[in-house]
Amino acid sequence: MTMKELARKSRTIRRFDQTNRLTDKFLASLVDTARITPSGSNKQTLRYRIVSSPEECATVFPHLAWAAALKDWTGPSEGERPAGYIIIASESDRAIDIGIAAQTIQLAATEQGYGACMLGTIKRDEIKKALNIPDPLNVKLVVALGKPVEKVVLEEARPGDNLNYYRTEDGVHHVPKLRLQDVLIK
Q: What is the pLDDT of residue 95?
A: 82
Q: Provide mean pLDDT across the span 117-140.
A: 97
Q: Residue 145: what pLDDT?
A: 98
Supply the pLDDT for residue 130: 97
139-172 core/surface letters (b: 16 or more CB in 10 A; e: else)? bbbbbbbbbbbbebeeeeeeeeeeeebebeeeee
Residue by residue, DSSP assigns 56-92 as: HHHHHGGGB---TT-TT--SPPTTSS-SEEEEEEESS
Contacting residues for 108 by C-beta, under 8 A, at least 6 apart: 29, 30, 33, 34
**Quick one: which of 138, 28, 8 has its CA closest to 85?**
28
Is there a contact between 14 and 152 (Cβ–Cβ < 8 Å)? no
Give the model's pLDDT for residue 92. 85
Per-residue confidence at 34, pLDDT binned at 50, 70, 90?
very high
C-alpha 28, offset from chain centre? 15
For residue 17, the model assigns a pLDDT of 98
User: pLDDT digit string (tens) for 62-121?
Assistant: 999 998 899 889 999 999 999 999 999 999 887 899 999 999 999 999 999 999 999 999
**Mean predicted lDDT score pLDDT of the chain:** 96
Average pLDDT on 162-171 reads 94
Positive or negative CA dihedral for 10, 29, 103, 91? positive
What is the pLDDT averaged over residues 178-182? 97
Compute the average pLDDT of residues 135-161. Answer: 97
